[in-house]
Amino acid sequence: MDLLQILTVSIETAIGPIAAIYVLAAIGLNIHFGYTGLLNFGQVGFMLVGAYGVAVSVTTFDLPLWLGLLASIVCAAILALLLGIPTLRLRADYLAIATIAVAEVLRLLYRAQFARPITGGVYGRNSFADGFYGINPIPPGSYGIGDVDFSADELWLMVVVWGLVAAALGITAALMHSPWGRVIKGIREDEDAVRSLGKDAFVYKMQSLVLGGVFGGLAGAMIALNQQNITPDQFMPQVTFYLWAMLLLGGAARTWGPVLGPVVMWFLLTAFDELLRSLASMDIVPFLETSQIGALRHAFVGLALILLIVYRPQGLIGDRKEMLVNVK
Amino acid sequence: MSSDSKDIVPGAAETGAAADRMAGVDPRPGVPKPDPILRASGIRRSFGGLTAVNVEHLEVQRGTITALIGPNGAGKSTLFNLLTGFDRVDAGEWAFENRQLNGLSGHKVARQGMVRTFQLTKALTRMTVLDNMLLAAPRQKGEGFFGAFARPVWRAQEAANRKRAMELLERFKLDAKKDDMAGSLSGGQRKLLEMARSLMVDPSMVMLDEPMAGVNPALVQSLLEHITALRDEGTTVLFVEHDMDVIMGISDWIVVLAQGEVIAEGRPDDIRSNDEVIDAYLGKQHDEPNGGTAAEAEGTT
């Protein structure tokens, strides 16, 4: 068993493009849940329309890549409006139900037979990312420190996604330290109180839903660029729940919570996978087949969440004092 | 509270002045006031088959403390919710400072200068006391989504709001708690915070829904002082309360609601001796030994 190898792979995953993409989506979820108190259980829906926004624009409609990315943003914003207009005037739980259902309905719509001319149906879309890697300014080669290394294309994507993360963090921090953010947090605590003070809670919730949704959509677009092919069935509901687990692990309503959560979670997940795999290959663990490792991973995430909520409900960097405040 | 509490109720000493405020107004339901800040007519709201509120006409005199009383289920809170845009009327219209409020949603009503508090205190628990106050400041430049990014534009206004918030907190003796989470305050302190916060909006009328509920007697005293001080500064106060001693002590005018209708209006002395009010509170068969039969005959109408 090569522990160094396991460590290297885990670090590569923790700082790699996929973790960065999850960070971006988790920042959106943090705006929704952490700051505004919106229960969005369909962040994967925003990622789906974002991914298809760029893929469909470039393949089906032959548009340039930048227009595709713009389409991703617009699609996410439209989805937020469609979700928000009927539900945001109602109690918080309606948004939760609507988001989880709509995300799943969207997946089924995008994979449906009749949608095939546009979305490619179950086969999805591919070869739309050439424009992105074509403008890669990083010369080909391998970059990294020690055993941790990335190809030029990976590094290019990492620069872009972590750049987006930095921008999203900057925007979020600026907003949350402004009077706008104060109203948003007030809505999380008690919407009626905020309304009684002359603030239109509906408009604020809508703005929050759109902003967080756009970050989710951009994360989806980055998934598309990372994989260079997408199918609807990778946008399953569990993506949303991974995001929730990561956000709660990092600490909701904290600027760095949605950054730390996915990074730590991807590190642990990969280390767990790799460890089990090497143990399985050494035949030390009885009854464990390599094919079962994926299922064990879900159990591991579940266990981690339970322990987290029992022993550290505020997440890694949350404020315990704030958690323990009597909310009544 | 016992009878001696009347001595410590600050308004009690001013009953003379209070009576002057409503001089010449007839103590009957729906009576017009010389200078009404709020005028409501034909307000109706039913839930299923139950008519919760059916107010024919009601006016609130500017610059007074008006109490809204009535037995449980009389429709006081529902009327509050209707007038402040937190519930929709089935019928009726009302105007605040001569501006129609019909169909306006809660935040728009508040912007007109009519700010309410809630029976179950709504402190924003996981925010600091100071943030609770700052949130309420009206017309903030940094409140809009795009304005939020322009810190230099709203910095000066924020500082001014902070100063005003601290003044209000000092007045309500919460200044030492400014950086505490609002959720860590006691029930009474939350009531104080809610009142202070509503003043941040700069209202011309505050509507307090049971400001004294669940507050210890010492703090009741200070709440009462704050309410009378508000009136003396020219703010109109309309409040719902159950504690009779409190109501009689500080109110300039009392409106009695029973089964959704205004059954009596008047100065504290008028209300104290009003038979219909006593009936509404205690039922028709109170004290008189042979009152039962007579009241039953009446009760059928």
Contacts for B2 with CB less than 8 Å, ≥ 6 apart = none
Has residue B297 got a pLDDT over 60? no
Is residue B234 located within the same domain as residue B285? Answer: yes
SS3 A324: helix
Has residue B57 got a pLDDT over 50? yes
Domain with residue B51: its CATH number is 3.40.50.300
Is residue B92 located within the same domain as residue B210? Answer: yes
Range A167-187 average pLDDT: 97
B246-258 pLDDT, tens per residue?
Answer: 888 899 999 999 9
Pairwise CA distance, residues A307 & A321, whole Å: 19
B116 vs A181, A190, A196: nearest CB: A196
Domain region containing B152: 126-184
Is residue B142 located within the same domain as residue B27? Answer: no
Has residue B19 got a pLDDT over 70? no
SS3 B193: helix
Largest CA distance in chain A: 67
A34 inside 8 A of chain B by CB: no
SS3 A45: helix
Interface with chain A: mutation pick from B83, B127, B185, highest number of A CBs within 10 Å: B127
Q: Which pLDDT band, with edges at 50, 70 and 90, does A146 fall under?
A: confident
Q: Which pLDDT band, with edges at 50, 70 and 90, does A312 fall under?
A: confident
Residue B225 in domain: yes
Has residue B20 got a pLDDT over 50? yes
pLDDT of residue B23: 76
Q: Which pLDDT band, with edges at 50, 70 and 90, does A100 fall under?
A: very high
* Closest C-alpha among B72, B71, B89 to residue B80: B89
Has residue B3 got a pLDDT over 80? no
Is residue B19 located within the same domain as residue B168? Answer: no
Check if the beta carbon of residue A172 is closer than 8 Å to that of residue A27: yes
B278/chain A closest Cα distance in angstroms: 34
* Closest C-alpha among B270, B124, B262 to residue B200: B124
Is residue B114 located within the same domain as residue B133? Answer: no
Pairwise CA distance, residues A151 & A276, whole Å: 27
Residue B192 in domain: no
Is residue B177 located within the same domain as residue B110? Answer: no
Is residue B140 located within the same domain as residue B288? Answer: no
A185-235 pLDDT, tens per residue?
Answer: 999 999 999 999 999 999 999 999 999 999 999 999 999 999 999 999 999
Count of the separate structural domains present in chain B: 2
A190 inside 8 A of chain B by CB: yes
Q: DSSP secondary structure string, B133-159? A: HHHH-SS-GGGSTTGGG-HHHHHHHHH
pLDDT of residue A325: 62
Is residue B175 located within the same domain as residue B228? Answer: no
Pairwise CA distance, residues B131 & A182, whole Å: 7
pLDDT of residue B212: 87
Tokens, residue A263? 């990074």
What is the average pLDDT score of chain A?
92
pLDDT of residue B285: 59
Pairs of CB atoms within 8 A across A/B: 121
Residue B195 in domain: no
Q: Which pLDDT band, with edges at 50, 70 and 90, does B277 fall under?
A: confident
Percent of chain B, pLDDT > 70?
Answer: 87
B96-125 pLDDT, tens per residue?
Answer: 999 999 889 999 999 999 999 998 889 899
pLDDT of residue A284: 75
Has residue A164 got a pLDDT over 70? yes
Q: Which pLDDT band, with edges at 50, 70 and 90, does A292 fall under?
A: confident
Residue B197 in domain: no
Other residues' Cβ atoms within 10 Å of the Cβ of residue A310: 8
SS3 B95: strand
Range B233-250 average pLDDT: 89
What is the average pLDDT score of chain B?
86
User: Could you tell me whether strands A125-126 and A229-230 are parallel, antiparallel, or unpaired per DSSP bridges?
Assistant: antiparallel
pLDDT of residue B281: 78
Is residue B108 located within the same domain as residue B28? Answer: yes
Percent of chain A, pLDDT > 70?
Answer: 97
Tokens, residue A260? 């730390």
Pairwise CA distance, residues B161 & B135, whole Å: 10
Is residue B54 located within the same domain as residue B175? Answer: no
pLDDT of residue B117: 94
Residue B128, Ramachandran bin (φ over 0: left; ψ between -120 and 50: alpha; else beta): beta
Pairwise CA distance, residues A120 & A125, whole Å: 6
Other residues' Cβ atoms within 10 Å of the Cβ of residue B5: 16
Distances (CA, A) of B59 to B41, B96, B257: 9, 10, 14
DSSP lists the bridge partners of residue B258 as: B261
* Closest C-alpha among A155, A226, A165, A208 to residue A24: A165
Chain B residues closer than 8 Å to A197 by CB: 107, 110, 115, 135-136, 197-198, 200-201
Is residue B225 located within the same domain as residue B138? Answer: no
A321 inside 8 A of chain B by CB: yes
B122 vs A179, A183, A192: nearest CB: A192
DSSP lists the bridge partners of residue A230 as: A125
Per the listing, tokens 């100063």 go with: B163
Has residue A130 got a pLDDT over 50? yes
Across the interface, do B106 and A196 touch by the CB < 8 Å criterion?
Answer: yes
The secondary structure element, H or E, covering residue B248 is helix B244-250
Has residue B295 got a pLDDT over 60? no
Is residue B147 located within the same domain as residue B294? Answer: no
